[in-house]
A and B are shown apart, each in its own frame.
Chain A
Amino acid sequence: MTKAMSVIGAFIVVAVVSAGHSVADEGPISGAVKAIDASGKTLTLQTTAKGKTRDVTIILKPESKIVKFTRPTEPGKTGFVAQPLALSDVKPGWIVSVTTRHEGGNEVAEIVTVVLEKPQ
């Protein structure tokens, strides 16, 4: 009996860990920048999914990066180069994509990628 219970317990643990891993597998958030709080180091995005629009506030930590891609200025070079930006450079209305991680119930930015610099 004990053996059987152990087997059940082990599989429940595996299932919970698996489910937790699945939930933690977050993807990027994209949307229009609604507000920037440079002092509070937060970025509020208006994002839509499943037909519903919602605001998501993302915390930027010192290790968070903000980049936009531009064409290289050197002659003969092709492709894009990543240009780092400060949070204060970001403007409302811009369309960005943010890879995040969950931390204490908050969304913490890893990389904020500027998709389009667009005035609101």
Chain B
Amino acid sequence: MRAKLFTSLAIGVLGLLVGLWLVRPPATRANGDKHDEKGGHAHVPAPLEYADVHVPLSVWTDAAMIARGKEIYTTRCAVCHGDQGDGKGPAGVALPFKPPDFRAKDGVAEMRDNYWFWRVSEGGQIEPFKGKGSAMPPWKGELSVDDRWAVMAYQHTFSEHHGPHVPWEHPGSVAMGRDIFAMACVPCHGVAGKGDGSVGPMLAPRRAPQPRDFTSAEFKFRSTPSGQLPTTADLFRTLTEGVRSSGGPLTIGLRGQRIMPSFRHMPVGQRLEVLEYVKSLNRGFRELGVVKTVTVPAPPTLTPERLTRGKQLYADAECMACHGERGRGDGPSAPTLKDNRDLPIAATDLTRPERFKNGARPEDVYRTLVTGLAGTPMPSYADSLELDQTWDLAYYVLSLSRGGQTAETGSR
């Protein structure tokens, strides 16, 4: 009886030990991390500061650029990444975080151009690569932007993909964003992102604002000059903050609330992924070249004199034609205003800064005055107002909620 008990116990202990052995963690590396033996890339989006760096389409197939890239790669990269791009350069095989295999078609197709540019620029000195023990040096201090593009173009040839490395060639590179878009954005923006989702018309029937058509060139909320596409940071801001507006049947009781919800609770990485998908709907984002943004200087001090000048500018610039003398959106032209879809659009009630769609801080109003709101009758004043005049007008606009008086400035 006792022997039987101990035999059972022995079998139990044996089972436990075998189980522990089977689930034991992989051998710990000396850097203290566990590593993917196949090579080092992680599925993370490029951060905002790199999100707009898209390689010009011509670079990928430009023989001169590829030759230049080969020269750089051979002298600086091949020692780790290998002459064949297989990640088996003599110095690379000894690394705890293995260089990736650039010949792997699937792996290369999953990553975007701004990801590669980020990696070449910052090397392994940024997370999550630093934490994994990446030894890749940052090249931004030694290679020009053109040189980094060139080396990327050459590296891309290892995957034997001929043509630009863009989402419409590699749909897998925006697959995560596409899934998020399908769940969170399609009801309003439509399957193809044309702003024709089934919910959109219910939000504001037969009038503006309607959900954005991402395939068009007109985006209202930008930090870029009039007529240009927004930066990823602009899109990120809109996605994070949402858009306030008076709405239609689906928003009864929600006046002044967001007609587009805020996605600030969505993880940053997911917001960046969905924006990469949104950008993939409009090839213009890949043809931007160097992105120029409007510089918004630090706001000056608000003074009564500034408001007096702003009031005069408000009249001279004919703001009151649409927004009304007191800024209530009831100017003589207000009833006739239409957007670029020929839908009636209301002039913003400037006495309610909490509803400003592009933000209500002085710098937000400044930016709106400089960039205008594309697709709406709100023009850009970049060419007609001096810098200081723009601040005068921005402060006056914000003062309208206080009857044109000096007081604390608005906040988002």
Contacts and interface: CB of A to CB of B under 8 A. Distances in A.
Interface of A: 1, 3-5, 7-8, 11-12, 14-15, 18-19, 22-23, 25-31, 47-52, 56, 68-69, 78-80, 82, 95, 97-100, 107, 111, 113-116, 118
Given A51-B130, A115-B135, A28 B30 contact: yes
A115 B95 contact: yes
Contacts of B24: 18-19, 22
B79 A80 contact: yes
Contacts of B91: 68-69, 97, 113-115
B2 interface: yes
B243 to A, nearest CB: 36
B137 A50 contact: no
Given A1-B3, A15-B21, A49-B131, A113 B94 contact: yes
A8 B10 contact: yes
Contact of B95 (A14, A52, A97): A97
Interface in B1-36: 2-3, 6-7, 9-10, 13-14, 17, 20-21, 24-25, 27-33, 35
Given A19-B24, A51-B127, A80 B17 contact: no
Contacts, number: 126
Given A30-B133, A69-B91, A100-B30, 12 more contacts: A8-B9, A8-B14, A29-B96, A30-B31, A48-B130, A49-B31, A49-B33, A69-B90, A80-B79, A97-B91, A97-B94, A97-B96
Contacts of A48: 31, 130-131, 133
Query: Among B3, B29, B78, which residue has the most Cβ atoms of chain A within 10 A?
Result: B29
B187 interface: no
Interface string B96-121: 11000000000000000000000000
Q: Considering the complex of A and B, which 10 residue pairs feature the smallest CB-CB distances, nearest first?
A: A4-B6, A25-B27, A27-B29, A30-B135, A49-B32, A49-B31, A49-B33, A51-B131, A29-B30, A97-B94
A47 B31 contact: yes
Contacts of A26: 27-30
Nearest to B135: A30
Contacts of B234: none
A73 B133 CA distance: 32
B68 interface: no
B80 interface: yes
Nearest to B132: A49
B147 interface: no
B90 A82 contact: yes
8 contacts: A1-B2, A11-B17, A14-B17, A28-B95, A30-B134, A49-B29, A56-B30, A69-B91
A77 B127 CA distance: 38
A15 B96 contact: no
Contacts of A29: 30-31, 96, 133
A118 B134 CA distance: 16
A68 B25 CA distance: 33
Nearest to B79: A69
B410 interface: no
Nearest to A80: B90
Contact of B3 (A4, A14, A23, A80): A4
B242 interface: no
Contacts of A7: 10, 14
B354 interface: no
A78 B79 CA distance: 12
Nearest to B74: A71
B88 to A, nearest CB: 11
Nearest to B27: A25
Contacts of B122: none
Contacts of A82: 90
B339 interface: no
B142 to A, nearest CB: 9
